[in-house]
Amino acid sequence: MTAPIFAILLFGGVPIAFVLGLVAVAYIVESDNTVLFDSFALQMFGGLENYGLLAIPLFMLTGELMNEGGVTKRLIAAARVFVGGFRGGLAWINLVANMFMAAIVGSAASQIAIMSRAMVPAMEAEGYDRGFAAASTAAGGLLAPVIPPSMLFVIFAVLAQIPVSDMFLAGILPGLLMFGSFAIVIAAIGFVAPFPGGRWMTRAEALRALAEALPAVAIPGAIIGGILFGFATPTESAAVASVVAFVLGMLVYRELRISDLWPAFRRTAQNAALVILMIAAANVFGWVVIYEAIPQKLAALLTTITQDPFLFLLIVNLCLLIVGMLIDGIAAVILITPILLPIAMNDYDISPYQFGVVISINLILGLLTPPVGIGLYIASAMSGVKPVAIFRALWPFLLATLVVLILLSRFPWLSTALIG
């Protein structure tokens, strides 16, 4: 009865945290092993006893303080210095600014919301198609869960019991590869349907924009530099980044007010609580996975189909593309990791870092694909463009991401080369 209950709750729109918890309860009742109820709460709490999870609310808070404190618009102005003069300058600014933001925010949904408000009206005013403006902004948001820091990587690393810092390192080359693929897409679209001309800043304008953005570079510097050089853990780097974002917004740019702090704290607490509750429920759901020996049964089935790690990852990718269309990316990572990671590592000798990068990129595609596609609807709400129009202009970016996904599945070194 456990499997039907799981399917009914999942596709009935019940929040994923409650799905996981109720399925565990149903399994305990069905198996008549009610003594497990004595440690039910302890198991949930045990899933949260990981120092790395503190990075999640801290990265969320950093993004909130950046947006309120004027850091975002200064990073966009800095991107204009480097690529604003090319034909289609705003399209390139959009992509570069999204890469800057990805190195700070760590959440695709948050980044899409922030950048849609900033970039779509500006691109439309300069003559870009509104659908393309919203689509390129939404696609740029896909960099957030790949370029470190990444909340998806934090969650996966905690579930996989691997260092969060190494997982962040695993995402650097894939993130740059995705950035490059999106740049090719923008260049190709601009070749077929010429973009409006760009304008290079004057020397004075460029120097002023770079000078104003220079303090903002301290935020990604605190995050990535601290991790790369071993000065701080990801959690400590996230804490430092949130303090830097506060100081910049309050004392340097002077756009962050005391009255802005409480709403930012409230949004951070609400969003982080959703994620943390899912992780706690997933730890209880692990009982069902372990007692039912689901990984072992699935491994037996898959190994009869292929022994090739690449073909295994292609099968996983195909299945997860469907999963990602129906379930939120974070929820899907929490569901999938305990089941598929042991198979990937034990039966196919796949690095957990490669596997984590592949499934994370795969599942974030669901942000921009119907029927769930929350990122698609966020971009629509923030830009005023209909989801159908955004999706029509979005497919080249999705196709580029699929190509990157195949490359990462075929060549493990793209994910593991930077890990010591």
Tens-digit pLDDT profile for residues 169-191: 899 899 999 999 998 998 888 88
Chain-centre distance for alpha carbon 284? 24
Tens-digit pLDDT profile for residues 62-109: 877 877 787 777 877 787 787 777 777 778 887 887 777 776 666 677
pLDDT, average across residues 119-123: 80
Q: Are 332 and 151 in contact (CB under 8 A)?
A: no
Tens-digit pLDDT profile for residues 230-263: 677 777 877 888 888 888 888 888 888 888 889 8
Distance, in Å, from the CA atom of 408 to the CA atom of 151, rounded to the nearest integer, reads 20
What percent of the chain clears pLDDT 90, i.e. is strictly above it? Answer: 11
3 state SS of 33: coil
The token duo for 44 is 């949930």
Q: Is 98 exposed, middle or buried (0-12, 13-18, 19+ CB in 10 A)?
A: buried
Question: What are the Cα distances from residue 255, in Å, to 98, 101, 179, 246?
Answer: 21, 18, 30, 10
Distance, in Å, from the CA atom of 412 to the CA atom of 73, rounded to the nearest integer, reads 37
The token duo for 356 is 């984590």
Q: What is the mean pLDDT of the chain?
A: 80
Distance, in Å, from the CA atom of 315 to the CA atom of 310, rounded to the nearest integer, reads 9
- Name the range with the highest mean pLDDT among 29-38, 79-88, 141-150, 258-267: 258-267
Number of helices (H) and strands (E) in the chain: give both, helices first: 23, 0
Q: Please report which confidence band the pLDDT of residue 202 belongs to, taking 50, 70 and 90 as the band edges.
A: confident
Amino acid letter at 186?
A: I
- Secondary structure element (H or E) that encloses residue 248, with its range: none
What is the DSSP annotation of 147-187? SSS-HHHHHHHHHHT--HHHHHHHTHHHHHHHHHHHHHHHH
Global pTM? 0.78
In the prediction, which pLDDT does 371 show? 60
34-37 contacts, C-beta under 8 A, 24 or more apart: 36/287
Q: Are 391 and 380 in contact (CB under 8 A)?
A: no
In the prediction, which pLDDT does 311 show? 92
3 state SS of 229: coil
pLDDT, average across residues 31-39: 69
Helix %, strand %, coil % of the chain (to 5): 80, 0, 20
What is the DSSP annotation of 344-367? HHHHH---HHHHHHHHHHHHHGGG
Contacts of 224 (CB under 8 A, 6+ apart): 103, 148, 149, 168, 237
What is the DSSP annotation of 69-137? HTHHHHHHHHHHHHHTTSTTHHHHHHHHHHHHHHTT---HHHHHHHHHHHHHHHHHHTT--HHHHHHHH
Q: Please report which confidence band the pLDDT of residue 405 belongs to, taking 50, 70 and 90 as the band edges.
A: very high
Distance, in Å, from the CA atom of 178 to the CA atom of 348, rounded to the nearest integer, reads 26
Distance, in Å, from the CA atom of 69 to the CA atom of 235, rounded to the nearest integer, reads 22
CA nearest neighbour of 320 among 254, 369, 255, 383: 369
Give residue limits of the domains in the chain: 2-416
Asked if the model's pLDDT at residue 399 lies above 90, the reply is yes
Q: Is 1 exposed, middle or buried (0-12, 13-18, 19+ CB in 10 A)?
A: exposed
Chain-centre distance for alpha carbon 306? 30
In the prediction, which pLDDT does 384 show? 78
